[in-house]
Structure 1
């Protein structure tokens, strides 16, 4: 079964019956490692289908639902056909359409040094095959012969209803694949096999929404042509890409584990909607201020990045540096910022406003699309209000959440509390890409042991009725979480500062990729944060206290070359290569009655760490006891010796 993007076809008249038939046949009868794109937007064009396979290469298919009565006069370059209204219309030979789409893609990909032949008689050409063809979904072989279509399209470049109708008794999926292979004019050789990295590079260039990061090398010249040099490409996986593309009609819900790429998918979806509907008014909301700044920066960077990466190579540094910021139609804020700045009401004004809306006494702004991150932290009344400002004609609402990170008490179900129905329009993201398997397993062992919701952990592919999703870790390995007990907090703060300097100097971890998280800021006359900052200053480690006040959260800069000090609450949605959680014995906080919230909070803090996780405490109390038990039962803690200075 091939991997289809999107996973299912959109509803409505836009998709023809023939396209639906071909979509289903390709999905069921192509190999598992083939990827099939339906109507992808590529460099200003939109081919009907693009098929990519390791031993196939790339195949572009133009689909026509022409019948016998459609055809009038056929010439090699142009055809005259009857429209549905019975009028004559001149169109381009569909094989020429497919060929133009294919060469449009090829001309771009040939500019990537990693995708061309580096030796032999095909030097400078793509290192994989490409082909193109036409699918006549409503015409059989007899029709092709009767109308002599072979005069204007060679038979090897055509598929008919006989080839794609899986309900026929003599249908054979192997024969279909063989017919598709005939559309390639170059025979297959083993050295043309596409690797996973090759396919990732192709997707990276053709589909901007899948891009996460890449390392750019100086461009090189070949035959007076500038070639782009990229390595260490990071892109969405196919499931994430499919979700970003497909979530469009009516209310949609994604529930994902920590580190599963929920924020990335939401940002990519916002970019897609903005590109496809520049006239739309799009609202992106979350709960926390630091995450809202990350979202805003991520979306801004996505909107600024050119569709064609090769534009970077052809622009001078001066041109790229002086380019004006592009305006877009996406508004990003926290819910409370939006409430204050747009509706100009406090939290207490939501219920009265909803009552006025019901009575027809209030006029609200309208958004064509609303995307919500941290949905688990939104009150039912907030969601109900947002449902009132959503354009009823577009009904484009995406809600992203993780119940395991629910640190507030949303008491009611979405459908009963807000009128938003997500049944049948919900997906699960269960793979954690952010953390190493050691951190994923350690954090989840703690959560499932202590959470009061452990009996509501469910597995499956649909989120209907699911509360907590157990994470699946990737194959990425790293050091075990490091647990340190100190005699007092002064010693603990000094150990943290030395560990940070060691990471920076020996492991080359930038200060911008390190965070210190705490649950309690101070106690009585003693300030934990002040002590941490004093030790960082002593070792001349630059740092920002991003949770000092509302203003420090608003000006949060993820890229600043400073260690970030933050409450665990404010770290939601953020990630760092190394995370230190200090004063663990203060969790669960004695003044917090809701222990369930404390468990979720600690789980959130641990899953902010991408590679290194440090947990420190002085007294064997609270969660510090659990850490000791997990260490003795589950793991052998890696040594991270830090010399005193």
Structure 2
């Protein structure tokens, strides 16, 4: 059926299979399929696989009534008491000869009949397509701000931000697939900062919970302040689908480590220890045995070593921010699952705030008794759930903000290092990944040793994200002579944001990249804000570790980079950015701190700093701006990459097999030519010429 619709209706639209989930007095169930398009409206499908379609009318009524109930509360889909996006139900029963004379019911018994009936359905309100689609995805409620934004000036920052938030209406096709498609096994979701990984995991967890309330599901993460955000997103989605609250005993939003004390304190590692009769180590004890930085890694590895045959704890685990965990934690999650091993992990390698990198899945999850990898990702195939999804669109950061973050993170325009002969700090191990994350080649070649210019287009960085530039510059790098002048400028700007720009307190984040010195570094600006009647807090210090913004309280969030992860705001101030220029050691790590800080912004970024390193960083940014936020550089060859921090995109098993096959064939061909078994004149001249051109390059 999907192929039929795709082949015969060349228009914008989305076909869902097994989605959405609809609630009624008799419980919750998923529809067989739903198609929504601007021309044909909302069409629900009931599929009859057997030869008996008796009673299809009652099934159609049930489908239509349940979706009607979902749509009616949204006033912009109504005119008086009339629903303007009325769902139509079609029964597809290809093994029957069933027909009906009732005008309110539609049934098709052949492919041709189905196409004929769908073609006859017309919708006179295509302008409501985006809105109706948003309701079906349950995004309409989730996208709403936690507070109602009140603005009086149409050209204020607050008004522009409201317009921007209202423009992000729906999930795109890749995001929708990531939510709905689930494999019995491991699934990986990779994407840029702002590509929606957190909201996708929240929706996926809620969707699985609604479909399988008997499953025990865990959602976990590295940044504890994500906990409240996950609970809010999941609660909203579950209520939209079922009109009931989630069962938080079955669907647990929990920390990775955890501790005794009930559902609010438990964690994945703690429950794993409990289920397997292992000794639980808390942080205080663990850091004495290992170190502050390696405490969690140490206790997890101890638990794995002590449990060769682990008892299952969960039916599914979803991990956000996987790049900030040691590989051993993902192995523990894998061990904590039952036979199906439903593990979903999402990450962005460039937001890694450690010097470690996740290995490919066939290495990450070990081997079986036969020496074969436990996890191998198959190539994506049409009609099958994807094991490896890459999200290329960014819905948080505008093109200038994201390109600046990438340029600084990779060192595209950094001064040349005499040791390496390049300013580059890190690079993808395979050039194709630039395309995967939404860049296109404007000029040159994306090949070793070649000059290349990369750009982001409206397809991967929607143009409406740049509208805040109508108020003020999206990005500024500002150098100060001392800490006092940096503090005064920051406090002046925050006061203006609150008093005149119509920004709310939770529209502002102040980030100090160094997490260790944050409390000390932010003391002075917080004191000056207090003297001006503006409250503030240090996230995770003045609040619970699970709280970032103070909700209804009017308070500006100051934070170190680790607690900033997973959060966003319209205005982001990065202070003491000179520490992110980098010295002889850990330059990749501190540049990733800067990348992460900049990409917290939904609109404006102000990067502040002091001294010569801030001057160098500002000059580096000026080169990004001069190149119109395009990335122009010589792609490093293999020898140069040895000196860089490599950002991995591992090859799938099928890709490796193809490479091995091609290598074997080439080796044999060279050998046969050398031994005279094959003559060059016997080979196709066009292929020989093409090979010569490739080798010359």
- TM-score (norm: length of structure 2): 0.68
Distance 1:605 1:462 in 2: 19
Pair 1:474 & 2:458 matched: no
SS for the counterpart of 1:295 is helix
State which of 34, 56, 67 in structure 2 corresponds to 1:50.
34
How much does 1:523 deviate? 7.8
Q: 1:517 to 1:97 in 2, by over 3 A?
A: same
Superposition pairs of residues 200-279 of structure 1, within 5 angstroms: 200-208=130-138, 211-214=141-144, 232=166, 235-239=169-173, 240-279=175-214
SS for the counterpart of 1:37 is strand
Check whether the contact 2:349–2:357 (CA below 8 A) recurs between aligned residues: no
Q: 1:298 to 1:308 in 2, by over 3 A?
A: closer
Distance 2:516 2:343 in 1: 41
How much does 1:51 deviate? 2.0
SS for the counterpart of 2:91 is strand
2:525 corresponds to: 532
Distance 2:550 2:205 in 1: 21
2:323 corresponds to: 376
Pair 1:352 & 2:302 matched: yes
Q: 1:385 to 1:307 in 2, by over 3 A?
A: closer
State which of 597, 600, 606 in structure 2 corresponds to 1:608.
600
How much does 1:297 deviate? 4.1
Check whether the contact 2:130–2:170 (CA below 8 A) recurs between aligned residues: no
Check whether the contact 1:289–1:334 (CA below 8 A) recurs between aligned residues: yes
How much does 1:628 deviate? 2.4
1:333 corresponds to: 254
Q: CA RMSD in A?
A: 3.5
SS for the counterpart of 2:43 is strand
Q: 1:42 to 1:509 in 2, by over 3 A?
A: same
Q: Please list every run of 5 or more consecutive structure 1 residues that lacks an aligned counterpart in the other structure.
A: 1-21, 72-78, 80-91, 119-123, 165-175, 218-230, 312-323, 464-468, 638-645
How much does 1:329 deviate? 1.6
1:10 corresponds to: none
Distance 1:150 1:413 in 2: 53
Q: Which has the higher contact order (CA 8 A, sep 6+)?
A: 2
How much does 1:460 deviate? 5.2
Deviation string for 1:472-506 (max 9, x for gaps)?
32221123202222221101011001101111122
Pair 1:134 & 2:91 matched: yes
Deviation string for 1:83-135 (max 9, x for gaps)?
xxxxxxxxx1x1442244224433553443312346xxxxx423356533322
SS for the counterpart of 1:391 is strand
How much does 1:583 deviate? 1.3
How much does 1:282 deviate? 1.0
1:7 corresponds to: none
1:318 corresponds to: none
Distance 1:130 1:608 in 2: 39
1:171 corresponds to: none
Aligned length: 522
Check whether the contact 2:185–2:341 (CA below 8 A) recurs between aligned residues: yes
Q: 1:589 to 1:447 in 2, by over 3 A?
A: closer
2:477 corresponds to: 483
How much does 1:38 deviate? 2.0
Moved more, 55-64 or 593-602: 55-64
Check whether the contact 2:22–2:242 (CA below 8 A) recurs between aligned residues: no
Check whether the contact 1:451–1:600 (CA below 8 A) recurs between aligned residues: no
1:23 corresponds to: 2
Pair 1:421 & 2:421 matched: no
Check whether the contact 2:94–2:109 (CA below 8 A) recurs between aligned residues: yes
Distance 1:214 1:523 in 2: 35
Distance 1:411 1:340 in 2: 19
Moved more, 429-438 or 252-261: 429-438
SS for the counterpart of 2:502 is coil
Pair 1:298 & 2:233 matched: yes
SS for the counterpart of 1:24 is helix
State which of 171, 174, 194 in structure 1 corresponds to 2:126.
194
1:224 corresponds to: none
Superposition pairs of residues 40-79 of structure 1, within 5 angstroms: 40=19, 41-44=21-24, 45-67=29-51, 79=54
Q: Please list every run of 5 or more consecutive structure 2 residues that lacks an aligned counterpart in the other structure.
A: 149-164, 259-266, 274-279, 287-295, 367-374, 380-386, 413-423, 439-453, 629-697
1:397 corresponds to: 343
SS for the counterpart of 1:495 is helix
SS for the counterpart of 1:612 is strand
Deviation string for 1:573-614 (max 9, x for gaps)?
111111111111122455x82211111111000000111101
Deviation string for 1:314-356 (max 9, x for gaps)?
xxxxxxxxxx996452222332232664322343333333233
SS for the counterpart of 1:97 is helix
1:501 corresponds to: 495
Pair 1:432 & 2:394 matched: yes
SS for the counterpart of 2:571 is strand
- TM-score (norm: length of structure 1): 0.73
Distance 2:361 2:99 in 1: 57
Q: 1:509 to 1:387 in 2, by over 3 A?
A: same
SS for the counterpart of 2:47 is strand
SS for the counterpart of 2:573 is strand
Distance 1:519 1:52 in 2: 45
1:571 corresponds to: 564
How much does 1:555 deviate? 4.4
Check whether the contact 1:255–1:401 (CA below 8 A) recurs between aligned residues: yes
Q: 1:522 to 1:528 in 2, by over 3 A?
A: farther
Deviation string for 1:19-50 (max 9, x for gaps)?
xxx12322333223122222322233543232
Pair 1:541 & 2:498 matched: no
Check whether the contact 1:435–1:611 (CA below 8 A) recurs between aligned residues: yes
How much does 1:53 deviate? 1.6
Q: 1:406 to 1:261 in 2, by over 3 A?
A: same
State which of 625, 650, 666 in structure 2 corresponds to 1:634.
625
Distance 2:100 2:7 in 1: 32
SS for the counterpart of 2:144 is strand
2:648 corresponds to: none
